[in-house]
Chain A
Amino acid sequence: MGFDFGVCIQDVKKKLILNDQLYGFDNEQKQLLQIIKKTTDFGESDSVIILGTRGCGKSILMESVIKSLSPESHTLVLLNGLIHTDDNLALKSIIQQLQMENLDGTFAQGSYADNISFLLDSFRTGNKRASKSIIMVLDKFDMFCSHTNQTLLYNLFDSVQSQQNPLCIIGLTSRIDVIELLEKRVKSRFSHNILMLKSPSETSQLLERLKHSLTISKHCKVKADVLKNWNSNIDLLISDIRIENLIKDLFKLSNNYTKLNMLIFMALSNVSKDKMITVEDLTNTYTTLFNKDMILVNLLGLSILEFCLIISICHHSVIYNQEPFNFEMIYDRYSKFALRNSTSFVTKRQVVIKAFERISVMQLILPVAAIENKHILKEYRLYKCTVNLDKVKTASNKYYRLPPVILQWIDSNII
């Protein structure tokens, strides 16, 4: 062969990470463009919410539309509900992004009331024709709804309603009930433009996307024969029945593209640069990424003592119908078993406490309601179990050299 595919791999990986190409959603793109154009061209303020599940392409849609506008026509303000966790931070960020602190240096450091009146005054002084329009994007829109009194949202939507500086608000969210989260006064000021983005509903779409991601475009700086070789290989790969089955499995797991992207990225990382990516690469990566039962791995790594405790816990949960338990109950159950069977299982209480603590550090058991537990000795602290007996049974069958007594104990299930 002798082709050097290093550049190709790099190109595909970069494409996956930057993730800036929009697939589908032509109608939505047009609609959004129309709304934004109204603001940038005619100075009419508006608001819109883009709804869609995680990873379906909300941000990419928004970015691609804004990219198509000329940069002089607007000022962009990007806010993210995860980053701007309260109104004050969001407001400071708006002022920073509008580069308004240069107007009067004291304001960005000022109090919240100062800042908001400053911002609103600035909006008010603007008018439909002369002022530059502002596009404000609120990512994780639902998180802004939890801010106190929704002051920021109210003020922003209010200035959209009154004819002031042209302002277009784009909210991105994955919560379908987002409108219900808004207060009445905020809701009435919202334009009720909602764009719904649908996740792929068929495996063929995912397959198409896989092909799209792996194919190298002509703009890439590689030799023509390498490019041709790579792309024809990808075509062969996609038509393989095993890949189709793989994508079908993946689709059962999740219907957005993030998992697919991760799969391709990992598979490409494992390929050395003088080789072509093969079906085996993809299927192997799929098994390592998604087919591993992490809880089982955890259980198999426990020592016999810890494993016995887990069994006691599961028995307790089954008998008492998932009631919470404390260390004493589990220790009692365990020592009954140990005394009945063999002296080799009898362990000092202090060691069992340590083993119990280790299980709780791994969060195989979780403490119940922290307030109740505050004033209680650690032996009596209440916990809940997160693994079920079936899982423990499967683990016990795979456990290396588990004493047969324990195996019988799991199934016996007597008090």
Chain B
Amino acid sequence: MLSKSNKTAIRDSLNSDFPFRDIQINMLCNLFLTDDGVLPPCVFIHGLPSTGKTSIATRLLYLLGKSVKSSIVNSVCCYTNQFLFEPILKDLLQIKQSELPDRCDNFMQFLNILKQSEIQQERVIILLDNCEMLGHEQIVLFTKLQELIKSYQLCVILISQVHPAKFDEDINFIPIVFEQYNNDEILFILSKDIPKNWSLSIYQNFLTVFMGSFYGSCRDLVELKHLAKVLFIKYVEPIEDGSCTEINQPLLFRKISPTIQLLLNNVYLGTSLENVNSLSDENTKFDKLALDLPYYAKYFLIAAYIASFNLPKYDKQLFVKASNKKKKSNRLVNKTENSTSQLVGPKIFSLDRLLAIFYAIIEENTNMTANLLAQVNTLSDLGLLIRLGDGKLDTPKYRCSVSFDCVNNIARTVKFNLNKYLIDK
């Protein structure tokens, strides 16, 4: 059992490490730092991403140390029952994998092993992170674990980003809500990890600029911390090489704003300092998107895209050479309309239609050979076309799975004007 001074120490340490979480920390401490040792059956911690749910709960368990037996499991890893139960048993019984009696892949065995090990005498906390990944029945069982084991010293903590209203009435828990940090709170937290060698005033000036531009599209603390780190190095570059003083705020802002714009277009995309420069390079991007395919495969992909996004009824207008005049005017009318097919996504087409369009758009004369048809299969193996149905009895059906930008780039490499052939674009 913990002494009183110990408890206040835990509380203070949590409060100093995690600012603005006093309500939540207070609730958790009231529930888990008790003299009597009676634990609630189930606590549900809910909050948006990176509001400190997992950090605070794991830190609390760490600080509680030896006074409780605890097991922390991230439910994302538990795609079978075995991977859920065995880690918990290993932690609680403090044994190695090899010492587990049998493979444990259902709840009955899990319960039996727990009962046999006389876990009732000890304080046990099981923490299930990302619990929305578990099945509904598993969650119900874990919330009832205390009742099933007949111990008042066992608690299951569920952590989830999904709000508890999604779960059933059958699940009883004490909810603890982690609210999103507001603007000032984020500013305070960010200003805590100020880089070495720089004064607070510079960093705070930087943060006001930073928050002004990023707060609108991102409130995720982890992402903001990361972005601030990347951006700050760019921000102080002019000061370091002496081209600008730190008091000259407007100039600093002017110098940093292209980078801000760049990063703003890559929020959440895992930008690091090395690829900040490469991001701005339009050419590399173009090379990446224009796939290095064989000549015919490129035409097949273009044909597939046209087949996916045009209705079959327009094929005649587009590809039959006789009715030239009428086609043009029709297309212009369509152009102004709302482009619905772009919104609904690619449609299914048959192999015959793909081949027909292929021969219509390719300028040279090519014979239909096995080599040519193999290109279609290559494309579907590469995941650029999606093959639907088994395709053995009937002619196979396909759907194009490449974005417009990509196909357009490919079309540019073979000097083909894709836009001319899209009714809706």
Which residues in A have some Cβ–Cβ distance to B below 8 Å? 6, 9-10, 13-14, 17-19, 54-55, 80, 82-85, 89, 92-93, 96, 254, 258-259, 262, 265-266, 269-270, 273, 288-289, 292, 294-295, 297-298, 300-305, 326, 328-329, 332, 344, 347-348, 350-351, 354-355, 358, 361-363, 375-377, 379-380, 400-401
Contact = CB atoms under 8 A, between A and B. Distances in A.
Interface string B141-157: 10010111010100000
A300 B342 CA distance: 32
B177 interface: yes
Interface in B16-61: 27, 30-31, 34-38, 40-41, 46-49, 51
B180 A85 contact: no
B42 to A, nearest CB: 9
A100 to B, nearest CB: 16
A273 B161 CA distance: 34
B344 interface: yes
Contact of B266 (A6, A259, A351, A362): A351
Contacts, number: 166
B187 interface: no
Given A269-B34, A273-B35, A377-B345, A84 B108 contact: yes
Kindly list the 10 A-B residue pairs having the minimum CB-CB distance in the complex, ordered from nearest. A301-B180, A380-B345, A10-B36, A354-B268, A348-B265, A294-B163, A13-B38, A17-B152, A303-B219, A301-B48
> What's the dominant secondary structure at chain A's contact region?
helix
A354 B166 contact: no
Contact of A83 (B108, B172, B264, B403): B108
B193 interface: no
Contacts of B342: 328
A344 B40 contact: no
Contacts of A92: 108
Given A82-B137, A332-B343, A375-B386, A355 B217 contact: yes
B174 interface: yes
A294 B165 contact: yes
Interface in B164-211: 164-166, 169-170, 172-175, 177, 179-180, 182-183
A35 B223 CA distance: 64
A289 B175 contact: yes
25 contacts: A10-B36, A13-B152, A14-B38, A82-B140, A92-B108, A259-B172, A265-B40, A265-B174, A269-B30, A269-B34, A270-B27, A301-B51, A303-B216, A305-B216, A348-B264, A348-B266, A351-B217, A354-B267, A354-B269, A355-B217, A363-B161, A363-B166, A375-B388, A380-B344, A401-B183
A358 B36 contact: no
Contact of B219 (A9, A14, A301): A301
B388 to A, nearest CB: 6
Given A13-B38, A14-B152, A347-B217, A294 B177 contact: yes
B268 A351 contact: yes
A361 B41 contact: no
Interface residues on B, range: 35 or more
A361 B132 CA distance: 10
Nearest to B109: A89
SS of B interface (majority)? loop
Nearest to B154: A17
Contact of A377 (B111, B162, B346): B346
B108 A93 contact: yes
A89 B108 contact: yes
Question: Which interface residue of A295, A303, A304, A379 has the most chain B CB atoms within 10 A?
Answer: A303
Given A350-B269, A363-B166, A294 B49 contact: no
Given A14-B152, A300-B180, A377 B401 contact: yes
Given A298-B48, A301-B48, A262 B172 contact: yes
B293 interface: no
Given A326-B345, A328-B345, A17 B146 contact: yes
A266 B31 CA distance: 8
Contacts of A292: 175, 177
B253 interface: no
B361 interface: no
B146 to A, nearest CB: 7
B311 to A, nearest CB: 17
A357 B27 CA distance: 31
Contacts of B269: 350-351, 354
Nearest to A9: B36
Given A54-B169, A361-B161, A400-B183, 17 more contacts: A17-B152, A55-B172, A82-B141, A85-B106, A262-B173, A266-B40, A294-B46, A300-B180, A301-B51, A305-B216, A348-B265, A351-B266, A351-B268, A358-B268, A362-B48, A362-B49, A375-B399
A347 B182 CA distance: 22
A328 to B, nearest CB: 5
A258 B168 CA distance: 14
A361 B106 CA distance: 28
Contacts of B49: 358, 361-362
A347 B217 CA distance: 8
Contacts of A96: 112
Contacts of B170: 54
Q: Which of A92, A301, A328 has the most CB of B within 10 A?
A: A301
